[in-house]
Structure 1
Amino acid sequence: MAAEPWPEPWPDSPEHAARLDAECDRLIRFATGAKLAGGGFGWLDDVGRPLPDGVVHTWVTARMTHVFALARLRAEARGSAFDAAEADALVAHGIAALTGPLRDHEYGGWHPVVDRTGRPASGDGDTDVDPERPDGKRMYDHAFVVLAAASACAAGHPEAPALLAEALDVVERRFWEEDRGACAESWDRTWTVGEPYRGANSNMHAVEAFLAAADATDEARWRERALRIAERVVHEHARANHWRLIEHFAADWTPRPEYNRERPADPFRPYGATVGHWFEWSRLLITLAEALPRPPGWLRADAVALFDAAVREGWRADGRPGFVYTVDWSGKPLVRTRMHWVAAEAIAAAAALRRASGDADYDDWYRVWWEHADAVFLDREHGGWHHELDADARPSADVWRGKPDAYHAVQATLLPRLRSAPTIAEALRRRAGG
């Protein structure tokens, strides 16, 4: 089915809201295929079937649990065709995996990947798991456990508060580095040996998780910690680097610009600057600015600067429609693969900045990027969104195989109609009158 023009004006008209609702329902329905009989949610292939690799990823299960919690909240607000009871069951399925086989019951925290029997596993070689450290504990996974638990709290799952408290305790004791104002990256399974690396990606998702945790617990310290991370990664380092956000650091937060030069298309730690993260940080900075009682002025200014840099150096950077995956330190395209999550985050950032600034120019970008996503990423034959395209907009699998989860795309259908603060699950809960 060919793409149809999206209704205007952007993004508040009833016609546009109906289109977003329909797309959200379509995405969530596709995501239900990830449910695994043995627990957790599987990594989906191109047609919506779990990969036959026999493993369960914590970050996939946590992100899917978050998505189904949002589905539950939408159903409660009567903004969805998705059944509330079905959503409840899917949230419960995710929580059971996060409190069961994915949790390390011996040493605490969460395994990155387990097999279908609950034993730590190394994945299939196409994922982010380091084969030399298959049983490590990573902040990236723990950030999404926090997010899933916070969203499940908003959705009313009875076991979610205990899960959230446990996850925050692990983050507090094992990952948060008070002297650095940011999070460590990873440990071995026994919490004995830490990785001498610090990553902007895991810390960005810590910001997202901390903001959600603050809404769920009403503890302001999590917003304050989110601000400290943003100040280090964005206001200190990105601002000094022409807004080309540095992703990789040594343990003392010294930049490592040559890190992974031999793996430029790595899905989680690519060499160079990752354009989509500039949009993601831009959106999160606006959320911080709206959530804090006395936000520093640089939050909104930096959000605008990151957005502008991402447009300038990412959009059609090689002369073709779409965003390149990465650029080098002079701003030239490196990996030209188009990622669905970058388009989704660009849409969400444009909407956030439009609401924050009142500048109608962001509406134009919002329209351009939704029409781009509609034309090339939405898979009307098999469902969901293509997670990766080549520079000619053909499905590819150079970085990602299949359609691992629905997190970015679902949020792109919801965030444009919500204020930037509170965070998405709490905003939906309030809309539902909970």
Structure 2
Amino acid sequence: MKLVTRVRHSWLNQTAHTDWLRTQTLNLLDFYQDAKCQYGGFIDLDRFGLPLHQRPNTLNTARFTYCYSLAAIRGYAGSVELAEWGVKSLNNELYDHEHGGWLSSLPDESPNDRKKSYLHVFVLLAANCARQANIKGSDTLFETALTLFNRYFWSEEQQCVLESYAPDWSDLEVYRGANCNMHALELFMQLAVTTQDNVWLERSLAIVKRIIHEQAKNHQYNVVEHFDDNWQPLYDYNEKNILDDFRPYGVTPGHGFEWCHLLLNLEQGLKDAKLEVPRWLIEDAKQLFDTAWKYGWKDDPHTGIIYTYNWKGEPVVQERLHWVHAEAAVAAAALMKRLDNEKYEVYYRKIIGYIHHHLVDERHGSWFQDLDKKNNISNLVWDGKPDLYHAFLMTLKLPMFLDQVLLQQLKPTKIK
């Protein structure tokens, strides 16, 4: 007997499952209320929900602001105040008032830091969403972040996002990365909805063509993460620093899943804008998922998706990170909806089962964010529970049956 025959039989159409997802959403929002920092922004929490330190984290401040703004749009009580705190901090304490832009923490405490496109993408995501939630100060934050992003990070010549600069905006890094461009794709598709400007869809398609339809396709749909400034792959990049949490060596299956569902969003966004939709988008999305699953998911003796593997398909870092499973769940659900194919429901249930049994911390709250290859608590890659963004976005998207519904809620609806 087949497990399922059509999407209508999916867990995502079952009240018990969507109730579980909504419970996760509420628990995650509640856990991270304690991350407010007295110096501005939000701090990282340990696995018990206590501060890891007293230094605000600008990236997580942007991500928390984005998440609590989305929660405010959805009507979750208490979210407006936390989104306001984040916007205020990004406009003031965490902003580099001398040179403009943002560093990893308070500007005076980050003298050797760099201004990274990755961080600025999330500041702009936060500002864009906060505007739709009518959060005080969000218009100013949006205009500032958008101006800086267009001035320094988008390359019209290369049709991609550049990586980083010194604090004074000198010394452009020669490295080119897939990771920052992937999150820029996420941002651009939301800007396409809120600004009603198709330039963001054009930029999105340019990024996908280069990194997925050219590079990943030429590598059997293993996503190449690292490049030089001429977009030549750097296969050995960070071979001696395999635990890097943003630029790890080798192939990251979690990013394969993430690109997969972003491509499906782009396909729908192009359709909604009545623009030409390349037929290869859906094929590339399928291949990305299948490759990430083939090399990432492990059944014996312990289940879960590994962090990285090498160019021979051999595991490198076998930690099971929470964000990888969140992205895999969204990708499986997205393909299931798009293709009405039962195999993705099977994958989805496997992933959700893993999340429920291994990642959700029923005692202290939130999710464990780093497990070892035997699914024991670890801190090899991630320390504590600093991240709301990945788990929250998964639990928020899935009951609404995927990203495009969420994107539609970001259409301009200002309250006067």
Structure 2-normalised TM-score?
0.93
Identity score, percent: 38
State the 1:428 CA deviation. 4.0
* 2-structure distance, mates of 1:187, 1:121: 13
Unaligned runs of 5+ in 2: 1-8
* 2-structure distance, mates of 1:159, 1:223: 27
Unaligned runs of 5+ in 1: 1-7, 76-81, 123-132
- Post-superposition CA distance 1:405-424 (Å, at most 9, x none): 21110111122233555473
* 2-structure distance, mates of 1:427, 1:211: 11
Show the 5 A alignment for 1:416-427.
416-418=398-400, 420=402, 422=404, 424=406, 426-427=407-408
State the 1:121 CA deviation. 2.4
1:242 aligns with 2:220: yes
Q: What is the aligned partner in structure 2 of residue 24 from structure 1?
A: 25
State the Cα RMSD in Å.
Answer: 1.9
State the 1:268 CA deviation. 0.8
Pair 1:96–1:158, CA change in 2 (3 A)? closer
- C-alpha contact (below 8 Å) 1:338/1:390 kept by paired residues: yes
One-letter code aligned to 1:236: E
Q: What is the aligned partner in structure 1 of residue 102 from structure 2?
A: 110
* 2-structure distance, mates of 1:360, 1:414: 23
Q: What is the aligned partner in structure 2 of residue 285 from structure 1?
A: 263
Show the 5 A alignment for 1:49-60.
49-52=50-53, 54-60=54-60
One-letter code aligned to 1:407: Y
- C-alpha contact (below 8 Å) 2:22/2:399 kept by paired residues: no
* Pick aligned residue for 1:163 from 138, 141, 152: 141
SS in 1 for 2:304: coil
SS in 2 for 1:263: coil
The alignment of Structure 1 onto Structure 2 pairs a total of residues equal to 403
- Post-superposition CA distance 1:265-308 (Å, at most 9, x none): 11111110011000000010000000013221111111110000
- C-alpha contact (below 8 Å) 1:283/1:348 kept by paired residues: yes
* Pick aligned residue for 1:201 from 168, 179, 182: 179
* 1-structure distance, mates of 2:182, 2:223: 11
One-letter code aligned to 1:244: N
- C-alpha contact (below 8 Å) 1:344/1:408 kept by paired residues: yes
Q: What is the aligned partner in structure 1 of residue 156 from structure 2?
A: 178
State the 1:37 CA deviation. 2.2
Q: What is the aligned partner in structure 2 of residue 71 from structure 1?
A: 71
State the 1:317 CA deviation. 6.8
1:309 aligns with 2:291: yes
State the 1:177 CA deviation. 0.9
- C-alpha contact (below 8 Å) 1:11/1:417 kept by paired residues: yes
* Pick aligned residue for 1:296 from 278, 281, 286: 278
One-letter code aligned to 1:98: L
* 2-structure distance, mates of 1:262, 1:141: 24
1:226 aligns with 2:204: yes
* 1-structure distance, mates of 2:137, 2:219: 44
Structure 1-normalised TM-score?
0.89
* 1-structure distance, mates of 2:132, 2:321: 30
Pair 1:268–1:120, CA change in 2 (3 A)? same
Q: What is the aligned partner in structure 1 of residue 380 from structure 2?
A: 398
- C-alpha contact (below 8 Å) 1:337/1:389 kept by paired residues: yes
Pair 1:419–1:374, CA change in 2 (3 A)? closer
SS in 2 for 1:11: helix
One-letter code aligned to 2:40: G
State the 1:328 CA deviation. 0.4
Pair 1:433–1:96, CA change in 2 (3 A)? closer
* 2-structure distance, mates of 1:179, 1:429: 30
